[in-house]
Amino acid sequence: MNSLIYNYFSNFDEWNDYVKGNWSGKGISMIPSTIQPYETGDETTVTWKANPKEIKSYFKRGKSEFSLIWLLESDVLCDRIKLIAKDADWECEIQAMTKDRFHLHVLPKSDKSKILYSGVVAKKKGLFSFL
C-alpha cells in the first residue's frame, strides 16, 4: 500500500525547489455574477508556472480569465506559503501535499466571500509538460 508523503520545508529555497516547473489543475470558483454561474457546469482551470525569477498563474472559468504574477508575502510555514498578486487584489495560500501535488486556495484580499480557485494542482509530466 502506497501512502502519501507530505512535504515540509524549512526555508524559501526548499520551497522554490519544490514548486518549480509547470503545474495544472481544475477546481471550484465562487464569484458572484448577474447570471447563474453554476448552471453551465464550468470548472475553473489553472496553469501554474514557477521559476527562480517569478511565479505566474492563469485561471479560466467559462469566458472569465485571470492572469496573475505572484509575490512572496510571508515565510514558509512548514508545508504552507502565502503569496500576493502583483498589481491585483488577490492572495493565495499553497499547501504542499506530495512531491507532485499541492492544494491552492485563491481569494481577494478585500472580499473574503469570493473564491477564484480552490483545488488540487498537479505537476505536469511527459512530453508536453513544458506547455
Q: Where are the domains of the chain?
A: 12-123
C-alpha cell at 120: 488540487
State the CATH class of domain 12-123: mainly beta
User: What single letter denotes the amino acid at residue 71?
Assistant: L
Kindly report, residue by residue over 95-106, the tens digit of the pLDDT.
Answer: 888 888 889 999
Phi/psi at 13 (5° precision): -60, -40
> Using 50, 70 and 90 to split pLDDT, how confident is the model at 70?
very high
86 has a pLDDT exceeding 90: yes
Q: How many helices and strands (H and E) does the chain possess? A: 1, 8
pLDDT at 1: 39
Q: Determine the Cα–Cα distance for residues 62 and 35; give it in Å rounded to an integer.
A: 12
Q: Determine the Cα–Cα distance for residues 120 and 104; give it in Å rounded to an integer.
A: 6
Kindly report, residue by residue over 18-32, the tens digit of the pLDDT.
Answer: 777 788 888 777 665
Q: Is the dihedral of CA 63, 27, 129, 20 positive or negative?
A: positive
Which H helix or E strand runs over 14? helix 12-19
Among 45, 68, 42, CA closest to 119: 45
Q: Determine the Cα–Cα distance for residues 76 and 56; give it in Å rounded to an integer.
A: 18
> Using 50, 70 and 90 to split pLDDT, how confident is the model at 4?
very low
